[in-house]
Amino acid sequence: MKEHNRKWETVLTATMLAVAIAITVTMFYRDVYAQALVGEAEVELEDKLAVLRKAIADYKAEHFDHAGVVTSDGYGLKTDDEEAALVFKDQMMLFTSEHGAVSYVLTGSCNLGPYIAEEDWPVNPANGKGTVVADVSVTDDRAARVASGKNEGWKIYPRAGVIFADDGDNLSK
C-alpha cells in the first residue's frame, strides 16, 4: 500500500512540476511578446517622427527658415494656436509658395512641396491619433517640451521648428 501511495506522490509531484514549468514558460513568452510589441511601437513612433521632422526641415530650407507658421495666404505669422496647427498640416501636405501660401495643385507660384508624401497625415502609434496641436508662443526649441494635456497625436512648436509625439500628459522623443 505504501508503494502505491509513493507512485501517486510521484505522479502528483511530476504533474505539479509540469504545471509550474508551463506557467513559468507562458509568463516568460508573454513578457517577451509584450516587450516586442513595445519595441515595435517605439520603432514606429521614431519612424513617424523622422518623417515629420524631415518634412519640417525641408520646408524650412525652402521657406526663408520658417517652419510653417505663416498664414495660409503666405503673409504674416500665425498667432492663433488652432489656426497654426491647421495651416502647418496644409503646408506639409500641399503645394506651397516660397512665402507659405498653399495650393491643392502645382502652380507657378505654389511649386514647393508637398513635404509629406503620405496621402493621410501620420498617426501617432502610441495613441492612434493624427491630430495636431500647436504652440506659437514658444520660439526656442529647448523650451518646447510642454504636453498639451489633450491627448492629441502631435504637438508642433512652429516658431521653434520642432514637433513631438503628444499623449496629453507627456511629450515623447
How many domains, the chain?
1
Q: Is residue 22 part of a domain?
A: no
Which residue range(s) make up the domain with 80?
Answer: 51-172
* pTM summary value: 0.71
Q: What is the dihedral of CA 61, 163, 121, 35, to 10 degrees?
A: 130
Residue 42 domain flag: no
Q: Residue 18's pLDDT is what?
A: 67
In a domain, 98, yes or no: yes
- 73-110 as b/e, with b when 16 or more CB fall inside 10 Å? ebeeebeeeeebbebbbbbbbbbbbebbbbbeeeeeeb
Asked if residue 59 is part of any domain, the answer here is: yes
Strands 154-157 and 132-134, how do they pair? parallel
> What digits encode the pLDDT tens for the residues 39-53?
787 888 889 999 999
**What DSSP designation does 158 have?**
T
The answer to whether the CB of 69 falls within 8 A of the CB of 88 is yes
Q: pLDDT tens, 140-149?
A: 777 777 666 7
pLDDT of 32 above 60: no
Residue 2 is assigned to a structural domain of this protein = no
C-alpha to C-alpha distance for 18 and 142, rounded to whole angstroms: 56
